[in-house]
Chains A and B, each alone.
Chain A
Amino acid sequence: MESILKIEDLYIDYRVRRGLVKAVRGVSLEVYKGETLAIIGESGSGKTTLGLSIIKLLPSSARISQGKIWYQADGKKYEIVSLDGGKLRKFRWKEIAMVFQSALNAFNPVIRIWDHIVDTIDSHDVKITKEELRTKVLELLRLVQLDPDRVLRSYPHELSGGMRQRVLIALALLLDPNIIILDEPTTALDILSQRSIIELLKKIKKELNLTIILISHDLSLAAELADRVAVMYAGSLVEVGSVYDIFYRPLHPYTLGLIKAVPTVSTSFRELISIPGSPPDLIDLPPGCKFHPRCEYKKEECLREEPKLIGVFPNHYVACYRWEKIKYGKNN
């Protein structure tokens, strides 16, 4: 498979009064062209920070202390961490676009949807006539199943959550990016609007041959949409594999714990098992494996040194010394 994005040993910190928040620690990850990769993790696991770093939109308190992000497509190659100024503006949104978390806050409340679109075009130095733009926008809005006449003249508050999310997706697709990053695309939505967004994402992926990076805490969204899943815990990747490997043959105790803790609707009733304890403080991390205080498989070696992410099966990576001990049948 052809790789489109390659993150190499990335470290990101936030400076706060109490010290340094180590939000991303040594993440290496490859994204293949045309796939949907889900990055899952709980709040504070660093998944949004990782997502923002890919389009270089980190807040000013964040610092990339180490690492590189390579992007390569259509004969162009960029190193994202070192991009800036005009080059960055030409890269962002045209190559990689992002749909941000919480659909309402992503809009300026006092301008109409049409003006949002014009703003996006203006700020990315795109030369396009109003007529061409209009045709493009109408096409996109139809793709996301919105009525263009109504939506373009509306203010954000006049649209429902699901409609706003669809507008955001259309905005992200405006400059025909190769990759789109979706940060919690369905979190604040109701079940039925959530479903319509899921179906929409499946459709645009098929029609536009996009690469999608999905950032979510929701395992079921990953199960529904992803080809591959990367599980993040305390700023590091603990397991990466195909969606079937992750859900049916997890090798990291944290992944296993998550799967056992999530209830399902259509399968028969089963007992759930919770993960004891809570995630670590990112300023003051425990030594060794960051999951060891909550892990029932831990041994002395887990307290000494942090395990590295290693490939143990084809396309299945895990950062755990004890992965061979982790057994999970589909029915237990």
Chain B
Amino acid sequence: MEKIIELRNVNKFFTIGGGFFNPKKTLKVLENLNLSIRRGEILCLVGESGCGKTTTGKLIAGLIRPTSGEILFYGKDIWKMDKSEFKNYRRSVQIVHQDPYSSLNPVKNIYDTLSAPLLKHHIVSSNGQCEEKISELLEIVGLTPVEDFIYKYPHQLSGGQRQRVVIARALTLNPELIVADEAVSMLDVSIRLSIIRLLLSLKENFNMTFLFITHDLAMAKYFGWNGRIAVMYLGRIVEMGPTPKVLENPLHPYTKALLLAVPEADPEITRNKKVMELKSLDLPSLLNLPPGCRFSNRCPYMEPGKCDRIEPNLYEVEKEYYVACELYGRGV
């Protein structure tokens, strides 16, 4: 399958401090990231807060520039594109944010919210066409009957309905890739699933590609079962492969620790889980990483002299399955 997006050796550093008492420091948010997303697939990006998953999403959506490395859209570096190519890329990649309460303009009704991009990008040429297109979009996202919703303002809608509007807005420019950054995390249990269903229907009906960013492993499992999953830890991918394989038989100790730590909505299963005892409860700071493997100071399998010396690369253990652990293959 064709690659929509490819990240090659991407680094993203932020500089913090710089005041008189506060010397400049470099925060290495993403290091040496290599990743590709193929047309029509679902790639889930999971990890704890601060692991760089949102930054990755923003880089892929072209909202921020990488410090170094290339981000290719159909093989072309997005930051070397000419104006019309860049515009086309921007249209093709849309982002859905976490918070449906703050990502909509409170003084614009649904019609205004959706018509602005349609008119701006000349997708429709007249107001009549615009209204037709908006009705079509609202039907896709399940805000029906359309007449009841089209002139409503965000405060008149529930959280789930707002997220549907945000999705409709992302669809206005006929994108090929949607970056869904914690798109359902703020919604209630009973609403969450209906939004996930909506996203899956977009994949089925329009062959939409998804980068699904979440901290919720169970949601990633459900949404990305037929796709791939990448687990990130402190700015690096530690494991990446087909979702069923990674979640049912993880290779990296960090992935294992996460899976064993998740409480489950089933009393017997969750009470019989054997939680992995980590050597440290707290996540190290990006400014003060342990030497060698960055999980080594917490990893119960850590081998002194090896793990605290060598920063592991992503090894391909089988086709399409990568893990970044020096101990892989030794029954860890």
Q: Residues on A close to B: CB < 8 A? A: 42-43, 145, 160, 162-163, 190-196, 198-199, 217-221, 223-224, 243-244, 247-248, 257-259, 261-267, 269, 272-276, 278-279
Does A278 contact B49, Cβ atoms closer than 8 Å?
no
Measured in the bound complex, the distance between the Cα atoms of B261 and A42 in whole Å is: 23
Does B190 contact A275, Cβ atoms closer than 8 Å?
yes
For residue A145, which residues in chain B have a CB less than 8 angstroms away from its CB?
Answer: 281
Does B269 contact A274, Cβ atoms closer than 8 Å?
no
How many residues from B make CB contacts under 8 Å with A?
Answer: 43
Does B218 contact A191, Cβ atoms closer than 8 Å?
no
For residue A266, which residues in chain B have a CB less than 8 angstroms away from its CB?
Answer: 259, 264, 269, 273
Q: Which of chain A's residues has its CB closest to B157's CB?
A: A278
Does A247 contact B189, Cβ atoms closer than 8 Å?
no
Contacts A191-B262, A274-B194; A243 near B267 (Cβ below 8 A): yes
Measured in the bound complex, the distance between the Cα atoms of B223 and A263 in whole Å is: 10
Give, as a whole number of angstroms, the nearest-CB distance from B274 to chain A.
Answer: 11
Measured in the bound complex, the distance between the Cα atoms of B215 and A275 in whole Å is: 23
Does B48 contact A261, Cβ atoms closer than 8 Å?
no
Give, as a whole number of angstroms, the nearest-CB distance from B126 to chain A.
Answer: 35
Name, among B160, B273, B281, B282, the residue most crowded by chain A CB atoms within 10 Å (CB to CB): B281
Contacts A196-B281, A261-B193 supplied; 5 other A-B pairs, CB < 8 Å: A42-B188, A190-B283, A199-B275, A221-B263, A224-B267
Does A247 contact B221, Cβ atoms closer than 8 Å?
no
Which listed residue (A220, A248, A259) contacts B270, Cβ 8 A?
A: A220
For residue A218, which residues in chain B have a CB less than 8 angstroms away from its CB?
Answer: 263
Q: Identify whether the interface residues of B are mostly helix, strand, loop, or mixed.
A: helix
Does A247 contact B265, Cβ atoms closer than 8 Å?
yes
Does B190 contact A198, Cβ atoms closer than 8 Å?
no
Q: Which of chain B's residues has its CB closest to A294's CB?
A: B190
Contacts A191-B258, A263-B219; A220 near B188 (Cβ below 8 A): no
Q: Is B247 an interface residue (CB 8 A)?
A: yes
For residue B278, which residues in chain A have a CB less than 8 angstroms away from its CB?
Answer: 192
For residue B3, which residues in chain A have a CB less than 8 angstroms away from its CB?
Answer: none
Does A219 contact B189, Cβ atoms closer than 8 Å?
yes
Name, among A192, A198, A258, A279, the residue most crowded by chain B CB atoms within 10 Å (CB to CB): A192
Does B225 contact A269, Cβ atoms closer than 8 Å?
yes
Does B215 contact A190, Cβ atoms closer than 8 Å?
yes
Q: Is B266 an interface residue (CB 8 A)?
A: yes
For residue B218, which residues in chain A have a CB less than 8 angstroms away from its CB?
Answer: 262-265
Q: B211-249 toward A: CB 8 Å interface, digit per residue (1/0)?
A: 000010111011001000000000000000000100100
Q: Is B197 an interface residue (CB 8 A)?
A: yes
Q: Is B133 an interface residue (CB 8 A)?
A: no
For residue A265, which residues in chain B have a CB less than 8 angstroms away from its CB?
Answer: 217-218, 221, 247, 259, 262, 264
Measured in the bound complex, the distance between the Cα atoms of B281 and A192 in whole Å is: 8
Does A258 contact B261, Cβ atoms closer than 8 Å?
no
Does A262 contact B189, Cβ atoms closer than 8 Å?
yes
Contacts A160-B283, A269-B244; A264 near B197 (Cβ below 8 A): no
Does A258 contact B271, Cβ atoms closer than 8 Å?
no
Give, as a whole number of angstroms, the nearest-CB distance from B203 to chain A.
Answer: 16
For residue A195, which residues in chain B have a CB less than 8 angstroms away from its CB?
Answer: 261-263, 275
Measured in the bound complex, the distance between the Cα atoms of B269 and A17 in whole Å is: 46
Q: Which of chain B's residues has its CB closest to A145's CB?
A: B281
For residue B124, which residues in chain A have a CB less than 8 angstroms away from its CB?
Answer: none
Contacts A263-B221, A264-B266, A272-B222; A191 near B190 (Cβ below 8 A): no
Measured in the bound complex, the distance between the Cα atoms of B184 and A272 in whole Å is: 15
For residue A193, which residues in chain B have a CB less than 8 angstroms away from its CB?
Answer: 281-282
Which 4 pairs, one residue from A and one from B, show the smallest C-beta to C-beta distance? A195-B261, A274-B193, A190-B48, A220-B263
